[in-house]
Chain A
Amino acid sequence: MQRKNRNLKSQLFKVGFFFLIIGLLIFFSPTLIKIKEEVFEEMRLAIFQMNINKDNTTINDVNTENLVITNEETQILKEEPKQEKKTTYSYIGELNIPAIRLKRGFVSKESKYNDINYNITIANEADYPDVPAGNFILMAHSGNAYISFFDKLYKLQIGDQASVSYNANTYNYHLVKVYNQPKTGKVTIYRNSYVKTLTLITCTHEDDYNQTIYIFEEI
């Protein structure tokens, strides 16, 4: 009788333990998925950084002794085949906001992954960071989903810094303005058009009807 009881207890303990593990996994699955995305993101960024370093090494290693000077026309002809539509997941740059520990890459405007459901998205109207007095506009979700890359933007304060790595250059910005607008499908950006700007757009924290615009100016 005692043996039976002990066996039953042991079986119950195992089953209970198994269900406890399953329950914990289900309960924490959104958080775990988000962390998994971060891990993959970090690896993509590491690959992106590695390729940048490789490119820089290649540029530095160019042997100028036997350099053949070509005219502009031939250069243009040679460059034409490169202008293919990119569909790969390789990053062209990286956004870094240390105050909220945000570090995320972005793909080119032409890439199919330049989509709010995959990445931080570059707006079609945006200029790239190397354009003088340009406005580099990035958009992303905020909330609890794993694609909510801008979920901690609401913690930013005026003066906080951000940097964008693009084309092996780093552009540093600081936050100058934050304002809300209703979600109507359109956004008006108020900025100093003589200064290079970084604009981040996301949904307002704990508000379903508004969006927040963060204006950063180059330092």
Chain B
Amino acid sequence: MDLSIIDQLLKLLEIPFSSILMIEISIIFLLLYIFLVYNEKRESKKVKVFLSAIIIFFISALIFYFSDDVEFVLTEIIKTIMNCFYFPNIIFYFSTVIISLIMIIYTMLSSKLTKFNKIITYTFTLLHLFLFTNFITYAIINKTNLTNTANIYQNDNMYIIVFFSQILFFIIIIYKAIYHFCYIRKEKLKNINESDIMFRK
């Protein structure tokens, strides 16, 4: 931790040669890299499939070898996501509010979005902001310390406000993701069709 940046870089170069297993892993990764780069010139579909299979096999082997740790890590990731949803701390909650604000401003200024999309965005984001103002007002009235997450959720009213604003926020995010996913694909298809027509002409 207290090493200088040059020492850290030297250590980093030494680590792959510290044991035979580490050297083997380094060679595998180097070969994979060379194959991937070389295949960019050849563009062989067979090699792509073969390399994908090798990468999946290699990752699966690692997961199988460290199954307990992988399970623990995955559980912790899901736990963190659930914690962000059910019991977000004030920083996360405040970040969602900032995202909502940006969304409103972007929707107001954008001319690409449909009216329906704009109405949906306004409805959900304004409701989200309304609940946030309720949350802040409630905290001020009850003199709640917002820095302690447990202190917030001890109060049922505050928990309900945060829970419903999280639901609204996640709905709008999912809606936006699906909308853009469909919109981009639609635009792509449109472009392909237009280029087809041009080609035929």
Rounded to whole Å, the gap between the CB of A38 and the closest CB of chain B is 7
Interface bin, chain A: 10 to 19
Interface string of B134-161 (1 = CB under 8 A from A): 0000000000000011110110000000
Chain B residue at minimal CB-CB distance from A90? B154
* CB <8 Å contact, B150 and A43: yes
A210 within 8 A of B: no
The answer to whether A36 and B86 touch (CB under 8 A), given A46-B149, A46-B150, is yes
Chain A residue at minimal CB-CB distance from B186? A10
A179 to B149, CA, bound (A): 41
B82 within 8 A of A: yes
List residues of A (33-49) whose CB comes within 8 Å of B's CBs. 35-36, 38-40, 42-43, 46-47, 49
Rounded to whole Å, the gap between the CB of B191 and the closest CB of chain A is 11
* CB <8 Å contact, B86 and A39: yes
* CB <8 Å contact, A35 and B79: yes
A187 to B151, CA, bound (A): 41
The answer to whether A36 and B82 touch (CB under 8 A), given A2-B196, A3-B193, is yes
Q: Please indicate the chain A residues that have their CB under 8 angstroms from the CB of B189 in the complex.
A: 3, 6-7, 10
A3 to B149, CA, bound (A): 53
Chain A residue at minimal CB-CB distance from B193? A3
B120 within 8 A of A: no
Rounded to whole Å, the gap between the CB of A29 and the closest CB of chain B is 12
Neighbour of A50 across the interface among B87, B148, B186, CB < 8 A = B148
Q: Please indicate the chain A residues that have their CB under 8 angstroms from the CB of B87 in the complex.
A: 39, 43
Rounded to whole Å, the gap between the CB of B31 and the closest CB of chain A is 33
* CB <8 Å contact, B151 and A39: no
* CB <8 Å contact, B153 and A6: no
B182 within 8 A of A: yes
Q: Please indicate the chain A residues that have their CB under 8 angstroms from the CB of B153 in the complex.
A: 43, 47
A-B contacts at CB below 8 angstroms, number: 42
Chain A residue at minimal CB-CB distance from B85? A39
Chain A residue at minimal CB-CB distance from B82? A39
A14 within 8 A of B: yes
**Contact surface of B with A, Cβ cutoff 8 Å:** 75, 78-79, 82-83, 86-87, 148-151, 153-154, 182, 185-186, 189, 192-193, 196
A31 to B179, CA, bound (A): 30
* A-B contacts, 6 listed (Cβ < 8 Å): A3-B196, A10-B185, A39-B82, A42-B83, A47-B150, A47-B154
A102 within 8 A of B: no
Q: Please indicate the chain A residues that have their CB under 8 angstroms from the CB of B182 in the complex.
A: 14
* CB <8 Å contact, B78 and A35: yes
A139 to B150, CA, bound (A): 27
Q: Please indicate the chain A residues that have their CB under 8 angstroms from the CB of B148 in the complex.
A: 50
A92 to B193, CA, bound (A): 68
A43 to B186, CA, bound (A): 44
Neighbour of B154 across the interface among A3, A10, A38, A50, CB < 8 A = A50
* CB <8 Å contact, A39 and B83: yes
Rounded to whole Å, the gap between the CB of A35 and the closest CB of chain B is 5
List residues of A (1-28) whose CB comes within 8 Å of B's CBs. 2-3, 6-7, 10, 14
A32 within 8 A of B: yes
A20 to B75, CA, bound (A): 21
Rounded to whole Å, the gap between the CB of A42 and the closest CB of chain B is 8
A7 to B75, CA, bound (A): 38
A2 to B194, CA, bound (A): 12
Chain A residue at minimal CB-CB distance from B190? A3
A22 to B39, CA, bound (A): 36
List residues of A (71-124) whose CB comes within 8 Å of B's CBs. none
Q: Please indicate the chain B residues that have their CB under 8 angstroms from the CB of A47 in the complex.
A: 150, 153-154
